[in-house]
Amino acid sequence: MSQGEKVLGTVANYVDERTGAAKWLKKNLLKVFPDHWSFLLGEIALYSFIILLLSGTFLTFWFDPSMKEVVYNGSYQPLSGLKMSAAYESTLHISFDVRGGLLMRQIHHWAALLFMAAIIVHMLRVFFTGAFRKPREGNWIIGVGLLTLGIVEGFLGYSLPDDLLSGTGIRIAEAIIQAIPVVGSYLAYFAFGGAFPGESFIPRIYTVHVLLLPGLFLALITAHLMLVWYQKHTQYPGPGRTEKNVVGYPLMPVYMAKAGGFFFIVFGVTAFIAAVASINPIWLYGPYTPGQISAGSQPDFYMGWLDGLVRMAPPLETHAFGHTISWNILIPGLIVPGIMFTLIALYPFIESWITGDKREHHILDRPRNVPNRTAFGVALLAFNAVALINGGNDLIATHFDLTINQIMWSARIGIFVVPVLAFFITKRICLSLQRADRELVLHGRETGRLVRLPHGEFVEVHEPISPAQAWVLTSHEQPGALEVPEYDQNQVRRPKALANRIRQRLSRSNAEQIKKPTAKELDSKH
């Protein structure tokens, strides 16, 4: 035994005698996790968050969250002698006068975009594969909470420099807050410390951005990882994989080595993008003044859909009891996003109610085998895509020689039509893919080889698929529709008759499937 091994053994024995951690570590370090590339999406989000913490800590050393007026005398000559806030001046100082400051700013911003993109794609993977089902409903709600916090945190982050672009975004946020009936003005005064623009909102935003929301992030991420650790990990269907086992590799040393290497890959890619691709060049916009607005101003992609909804809303107002309700701000800015996020958070419970399935699920679904869920997800993505496109209507108008009205009315019509079309088209595609899977199992894979039979007929030779492939294509369940009679056996009308009728219709739609090959059909094939 080497000297290093002796020292390590002594340290391990010292810790175990005082904490009893040896048994716990042995059990958990050998915990088995399935191996699939899609599981790395959540890791990208986690590593991006770590990069955000590290780069954000660096930036706080020089950033001055103050609205006091100063005169800029830094290295960037086009703004020399211009009056601005201390927040904007310190951001320019970080960009041009702090060694590595601009790189760290861009790493921080690119990591934020990567963090949000990873969360969205990770949640899409969870949604389309049904990983949110029992017992993971709580983790799904935590994911929705992280997505919501990420949107708010990102918005506050690019609002801190107090440049013309960020000031425009803050002004829109204030308008959304003021649109809340009765209490909107009071909430806006509370949030901004008086009328906008004031001298308090940047320090307040800074406190929330670097203290409150990161603490909530850490709490939710910790809870998320603890639940992932405690609950058995999901896995894709395959031979030998059941609801009661996990096929994969142990955490130590396989996944520990993979995780360590993958973190540095994510960090390296983020640093490379930040080094070669400029983002948020605040010196081009100048300091914020209420009388100006930057042309072609768009937020980051995760806020663009909200901006698009606000842009497409018609001018609707209601005057009642001495109050003005601006529906053109209230509906797209608060009501629609509130309904969307509430629907997304409650979807696991809605699907369980429709299907009547209360069992635990650890085997993932193929999206094509759950057409209604897949179609609903694509419809929601189509809704956001139309809103996002409208969020850049001014740039689209200038680049494609279109008018704002043309884009606006296309978006207003498309926001209602496109999601419906996306739903039905996606559902038909899923059913077609199911039909193709059925043919593949029954007749094998087309080889493109033509053979002439003795009687002159030409036929294509089909190659049988492997038993493992056949298992993947046929192992899924196809439950039938729920039958909820309006009257019981005593001809007494059941309570919640309307809800039961809706549930029954939704269940019938959800049960629309292409039947799997039966055992008799498979036997006749052979």
Q: What is the CATH number of the domain that holds 70?
A: 1.20.810.10
Q: How far apart are CA 261 and CA 238, in angstroms?
A: 28
pLDDT at 294: 62
pLDDT at 296: 64
Q: Is residue 73 part of a domain?
A: yes
Q: Is residue 222 part of a domain?
A: yes
Q: How far apart are CA 249 and CA 33, in angstroms?
A: 6
Question: Percent helix, strand and coil across the chain, each rounded to 5?
Answer: 65, 5, 30
Q: Is residue 507 part of a domain?
A: no
**Residue 197 preceded by cis peptide, ω within 30:** yes
Splitting the chain (526 residues) into consecutive groups of 10 residues, what average pLDDT does each group show? 70 74 73 87 95 96 93 93 94 95 96 96 96 94 96 92 88 89 88 83 93 95 92 87 86 83 95 95 88 73 91 89 86 94 96 91 94 96 95 89 92 96 97 94 88 88 88 88 75 75 88 86 70
Indicate the residue type of 248.
G
Q: Is residue 421 part of a domain?
A: no
Distances 445 to 453, 461, 464, 473 between C-alpha atoms, Å: 20, 9, 6, 13
Q: Which of helix, strand or coil describes residue 450? A: strand
Dihedral sign for Cα 102, 104, 109, 111, please: positive
Instruction: Give the residue numbers spanning the domain of 90.
Output: 34-295
Cα 347 to the chain's mean position, in Å? 15
Number of separate domains in the chain = 1
- Phi, psi angle pair for 350, to nearest 5°: -65, -45
Q: Is residue 18 part of a domain?
A: no
Q: Is residue 459 part of a domain?
A: no
pLDDT at 55: 96
Q: Which of 419, 379, 394 is nearest to 299 (CA)?
A: 394
**Buried (b) or exposed (e) across 502-517, using 16+ Cβ within 10 A?**
ebbebbeebeebbebb
- Please check whether residue 354 is in contact with residue 505, taking contact to mean a CB–CB distance below 8 angstroms: no
Q: How far apart are CA 313 and CA 172, in angstroms?
A: 14
Q: Is residue 432 part of a domain?
A: no
Dihedral sign for Cα 452, 455, 457, 463, please: negative
Supply the pTM of this predicted model. Answer: 0.92
Q: According to DSSP H, which parts of 356-402 are helical?
A: 371-391, 393-399
pLDDT at 4: 66
What are all long-range contacts of 121-128, with beta carbons under 8 Å and residues at least 24 apart? 121/41, 122/41, 122/42, 122/44, 122/45, 123/147, 124/377, 124/381, 125/38, 125/41, 127/347, 127/373, 127/377, 128/365, 128/367, 128/373, 128/374, 128/377
pLDDT at 119: 97
Burial class (CB in 10 A: 0-12, 13-18, 19+), 60: exposed
Give per-residue pLDDT as tens, 459-476.
888 888 888 888 889 888
**Buried (b) or exposed (e) across 37-47, using 16+ Cβ within 10 A?**
eebbbbbbbbb
Q: How far apart are CA 213 and CA 198, in angstroms?
A: 23
pLDDT at 319: 87
Indicate the residue type of 67.
M
Dihedral sign for Cα 455, 458, 460, 461, please: positive
Dihedral sign for Cα 359, 361, 363, 367, please: positive
pLDDT at 495: 76
Q: Is residue 68 part of a domain?
A: yes
pLDDT at 325: 87
pLDDT at 288: 87
pLDDT at 232: 82
Q: Is 296 left (phi over 0), alpha (psi -120 to 50) or beta?
A: left
Q: Which of helix, strand or coil describes residue 281? A: coil
